[in-house]
Amino acid sequence: MVIDSSEKIDSSEGKIEAVLFEAISHPTRIKILFSLEKKSHGFADLKRKLGITSSGNLQHHISKLATLIRLDNSGDYILSDQGRDALVTIKSLRNVQNHQNNTNQYTTDRKITTFGAALSFYVVQMNMPFVFGNVDQLTPITALISSLVFAVVFYPIYGFFESRRMNKSKE
């Protein structure tokens, strides 16, 4: 494969992102960033707040966060501008994940509700001929088909009203 000189990749491309991703790749470092979000902390204060027993361990994590935190005039750690940006990114990722989890749960609940309603409809369809005395050999097939049709119609209607209910509850 021949690479045109205009297509050559700059060797520094992606290094900034790699450093950022390495910095926020550990839960302790993310906790440090969130701890510094509203208030500055000294080394001992951070160590106590995070429940870290080893000073060397905390120092290791702080050194990995070199571009995201800095020392203020009083010697306390604070977020740098890049640290604030990193927190915005982390919060955005968490919001996306929470939305996906809620959507997956909503879809699962909707399927279970539809299945339950269709099953209930099937049971009624199977028993009604016995109540009225007009049972025939097609009763199970008729009940099954009508229950499937019920489920196909019920699923989107239920979804529509449930999404309206959820939107109203958010307001």
In this structure, are 107 and 165 located in the same domain?
A: yes
> Has this prediction a pTM greater than 0.85?
no
Residue 11 has what DSSP assignment? T
CATH number of 45's domain: 1.10.10.10
What is the share, in percent, of the chain residues with pLDDT greater than 70? 91
Tokens of 116: 């339950």
SS3 label, residue 10? coil
Domain count, the chain: 2
Query: In sequence order, what are the beta bridge partners of 70?
Result: 78
Instruction: Kindly indicate the confidence band of residue 12, based on its pLDDT and cuts at 50, 70 and 90.
Output: low
Residue 51's domain spans which residues?
13-83
Give whichever of 29-33, 123-127, 131-135, 166-170 has the largest mean pLDDT: 29-33
In this structure, are 164 and 133 located in the same domain?
A: yes
| Residue after which a domain boundary falls, among 57, 83, 109 | 83
Instruction: Kindly indicate the confidence band of residue 5, based on its pLDDT and cuts at 50, 70 and 90.
Output: very low
